[in-house]
A and B are shown apart, each in its own frame.
Chain A
Amino acid sequence: MSTRLLTWIAVVPGVVLGLGLIFQLMAAADPGFFFTWPYYGEVLIAGLLQGVLYALVALGFVLIFKASGVFNFAQGSMVLFAALTMVGFIEMGLHWILAALVTMAVMVVVALAVERAVLRPLVNQAPITLFMATIGIFYFLDGLGQFFWGSDVQVLDIGIPKDPIFILQDWVDGGMLVNAFDLVAAAVAAVLVAILAVFFQATRVGRALRAVADDHQAAQSVGIPLPVIWAIVWSVAGFVALVAGIMWGGKLGVQFTLALIALKALPVLILGGFTSIPGAIVGGLIIGASEQVAEIFLGPFIGSAIQDWFAYMLAMLFLLFRPQGLFGEKIIERV
């Protein structure tokens, strides 16, 4: 672990500095290419903070995949559903904290229903069947949320400042521009990960969850009830979806496209590995930063909007060298 950590400490700044130097050379060769180090820093930070939001969605995927081996495509629609429900309750006049609590209760009900109606009848089926079932959940939740709350774009405002602020003014000439909202989001993500870590490491339920993730049959044979665990995991994923929904909804407004940000979380997942929570965070940061840098500095050369696919290509390149992602468990195959 420590050697790996050392590698990271050496590699990451190396790559960042190397890319910066390349861009500087390009700027020197071509006057039309704008590059300064503070600007590069701004782009990096904006990307990293964006990546935190991706990681929030990816976390939900990882939790469910770890505990039940289900590739939960419905995570995106859970984010949308949670955000829609919360906006609906706020519009009924509830304070946002109260609305969040009620929404959490709704997400627990969803989790129980999913366990009861989908996972239990499909136990022991092939992974692809379960994957398709979660696409069914995706459609169902999409329809349900919009059936109840309508399909208009709604504003979810819980008082997070959205002003751009300048940081590091003493160090850099003119300071660096950062979005306050993104900073709050990053802080929230950090708190969330801390809560999850405590929950997984220090509580009885958390230990049971880790046991199930390790080996379903062994966990069952020492008396851990799988249906209960699955309901808990889906509830926790619902909680993560709620937090992600509040953050994304605050940033973009609550609308149908929120369900599709799950697609942005997928390259994060394969980069970090399906089974690793730190992987989801690090993967999110790498994807966020690199796609932002690619869009700003490479976009002018090969066409704009490369954000759509750059993350996938990057993740694929990583996978060619590490097929189980950066932090995923090593896949051992036997005949």
Chain B
Amino acid sequence: MLYREAGQFKTSYAADQAIFPIRQDRIGVAVILAIGLFVIPVISGQYWLETIMVPFLVFSMAAIGLNILTGYCGQLSLGTGGFMACGAFFSYKLATAFPDLNIVLVFLLAGLGTALVGIAFGLPSLRIKGFYLAVATLAAQFFLLWMFNKFPWWNNYSPSGVISAPPRAVFGDFFVTGNGATPQVKYLFLLVFVAVLALIAKNLVRSRIGRSWMAIRDMDIAAEIIGIRPLYAKLSAFAVSSFYIGIAGALWAFIYTGTVEALAFEISRSFQVLFMIIIGGLGSILGSFLGAGFIVLLPILLTNLPGLLGVDIPVELVAHLEYMIFGALIIFFLIVEPHGLARLWTLGKEKLRLWPFPY
């Protein structure tokens, strides 16, 4: 009864093309944003903000990036970790070479740099398709990681190979990176940053370019015949996707962990992000958030579960059990809902529209 669009008439083209055409959706998004902005930083402690909310937002960003490439344009990529590393190291080089540059600009420029790398590694997609392409993107993963590991120029010749984010502030004295940054400021900065970029992504995928990506995904030959140029569509998907993933990598290094080495962006990171978009839902911005939340929360839950249940299991066994449960849950989710959590939300919406009078 609450969720019903009957009676909401659109009287202008602008209203007809709004991102959230239903009033309840608009209210819902506004409420979620308001809770995120005003309630969460107040009620949650440092642990919640730093181990759950911050990685959740960073991973959401990466998941949006990969979802643009894989979910919307249909190009399976396993190079996410490599592109995240690009973003991290580019932003580090930029931030240390130009100390006066605003940190937001640093992140955006690092994203642009990663986009260029993404275009270079996206070139084979014009020839190679499907799983062959997935394996080819592993070349990006291994080559980029090797490069950041091999050449000390990238970490300013630090002997340990680790980069530490220099302290940088926004709006005068709100430090968002470095040791002086408080979890609240970090979280709020991330929230605004991710919300704005997610909004842009949401708009992008329903624009002309987003529709051309989806046409390529659904059948690239047919798309080519109706006049979509695969070169532009595929490479732009690689560029935009890498832009988001690069920024996610930069946020990871600067805001989430603070110090990072190339090993943090190993192949397992790529799989982690891929899990997020599959569990969350391919081709859905909302799904990116849901999947990121699920994959961030699941290991924390699994680690704490024995303690909560009062069972005493050796730590090493817990680690192995975690692996098993994680694998089994992935399979279970794929079986019950192959289209992801976002699909559950869509189905729920259909039900809500009719509830409580389904006839």
Contact = CB atoms under 8 A, between A and B. Distances in A.
A binds B: yes
Interface of A: 71, 117-118, 121-122, 125-129, 131-133, 135-144, 146-147, 151, 263, 266-267, 269-270, 274, 303, 305-306, 308-309, 312-313, 315-316, 319-320, 323-325, 331, 333-335
B130 A127 contact: yes
B146 A118 contact: no
A128 B330 contact: no
B143 A136 contact: no
Contacts of A320: 124, 127-128
Contacts of B225: 335
B338 interface: yes
Contacts of B325: 143
B39 interface: no
Contacts of B328: 136, 140
A316 B334 contact: no
B1 interface: no
B25 to A, nearest CB: 28
Nearest to B334: A133
Contact of B136 (A141, A146, A308, A315): A315
B142 A312 contact: yes
A125 B329 CA distance: 18
Nearest to A260: B267
A228 to B, nearest CB: 21
Contacts of A263: 138, 267
B281 to A, nearest CB: 12
19 contacts: A129-B278, A129-B338, A133-B330, A133-B331, A136-B327, A137-B331, A139-B326, A142-B327, A143-B320, A143-B323, A274-B132, A303-B150, A303-B151, A305-B150, A308-B146, A316-B139, A320-B124, A325-B132, A335-B225
Most buried by B among A122, A263, A320, A323: A323
Nearest to A118: B331
A335 B334 contact: no
Q: Classify chain B's interface size.
A: 35 or more
B323 A139 contact: yes
Q: Is the interface of B mostly helix, strand, loop or mixed?
A: helix
Given A125-B338, A139-B330, A324-B132, A312 B320 contact: no
Contacts of A267: 135, 138
B74 to A, nearest CB: 9
B266 to A, nearest CB: 10
B135 A122 contact: no
Given A305-B150, A312-B138, A135 B143 contact: no
Interface string B249-283: 00000000000000000010001001100100010
Contacts of B132: 270, 274, 319, 323-325
A132 B321 contact: no
Contacts of A319: 124, 127-128, 132, 136
B48 interface: no
A138 B127 contact: no
Most buried by B among A126, A129, A305: A129
A147 B331 contact: no
Task: Name the 4 nearest CB pairs between A and B, nearest first.
Answer: A143-B323, A140-B327, A139-B327, A312-B139
B139 A132 contact: no
B76 A316 contact: no
Contact of A129 (B131, B135, B322, B334): B334
B142 A126 contact: no
B334 A132 contact: yes
A136 B146 contact: no
Contacts of A138: 327
Contacts of A274: 131-132
B327 A137 contact: yes
A291 to B, nearest CB: 12
B324 interface: yes
B222 A335 contact: yes
A331 B280 CA distance: 31
Interface in B124-180: 124, 127-132, 134-136, 138-139, 142-143, 145-146, 150-151
B81 to A, nearest CB: 12
Given A125-B338, A267-B135, A315-B139, 6 more contacts: A71-B134, A122-B338, A136-B334, A139-B324, A319-B124, A320-B128
B192 interface: no
Interface in B92-145: 124, 127-132, 134-136, 138-139, 142-143, 145
Contact of B135 (A125, A269, A309): A269
A147 B135 CA distance: 30
A195 B324 CA distance: 34
Contact of B324 (A133, A143, A151): A143
